[in-house]
Amino acid sequence: MKLLLDTHVWLWSLLAPERISRRIAGELQSVRNELWLSPISVWEAAVLAEKGRVELDDEPRAWIGRALQRVPMKEAPLTREVALQSRAVDLPHDDPADRFLAATARVLDLTLVTADRRLLRAKTFRSLANR
C-alpha cells in the first residue's frame, strides 16, 4: 500500500508513538508499504513548531531533516492537478492543509493515514484510520 501520512500521524509517529494505534504502527513498519509525505505536512509541522503547538528538540529545518533521514519517505509532489483538486475535493470543512492532503491522496492514488474523523468520512479518496 502507498500510505500518505497526515501531518499529525507523521508527528505522532516520531514524538508520541503511544498515540499511534497498533494496526497503524504495523502498517508504518511493514516493508510492503511505501510511506509518503506531502510538503504541506513539512510546512504544517514548521508552522506548528513556530506557534509552540508542537515541541521539537531543534529548530524545524534541522529536526525535519533528521526525521526524514531516520524514517525515509517518498515526497508527494505538489502539482497543478493537486492544487486544482484541493478545491474540488468534497470535505465538510475548508482547512487548506487538509484539502491539499486529500487532493494529493486522490491524484496520486495514495491512502491517507489519519485520525481526523472529518477526513475519514470523505468518500473521494482512500483513507486508513488511526484508531
Distance CA 48, CA 42 (A): 10
Task: Supply the pLDDT for residue 48.
Answer: 97
Going by pLDDT thresholds of 50, 70 and 90, the confidence category of residue 104 is: very high
Integer CA distances (angstroms), 27 to 8, 61, 74, 80, 103, in order: 16, 27, 16, 30, 22
Task: Supply the pLDDT for residue 93.
Answer: 86
- Kindly report, residue by residue over 20-57, the tens digit of the pLDDT: 999 999 999 999 999 999 999 999 999 999 999 999 99
C-alpha cell recorded at residue 27: 502498517
- Kindly report, residue by residue over 64-80, the tens digit of the pLDDT: 999 999 999 999 999 99
**Helix, strand, coil in percent for the chain, rounding step 5:** 55, 15, 35
Non-local (6+) Cβ contacts of 63 within 8 A are: 49, 56, 57
Task: Supply the pLDDT for residue 92.
Answer: 84
Domain boundaries, the chain: 2-129
Q: 81 with 43: CB under 8 angstroms?
A: no
- Cα of first residue to Cα of last residue in the chain, in angstroms, is 18
Task: Supply the pLDDT for residue 80.
Answer: 98
CATH architecture of 2-129: 3-Layer(aba) Sandwich (3.40)
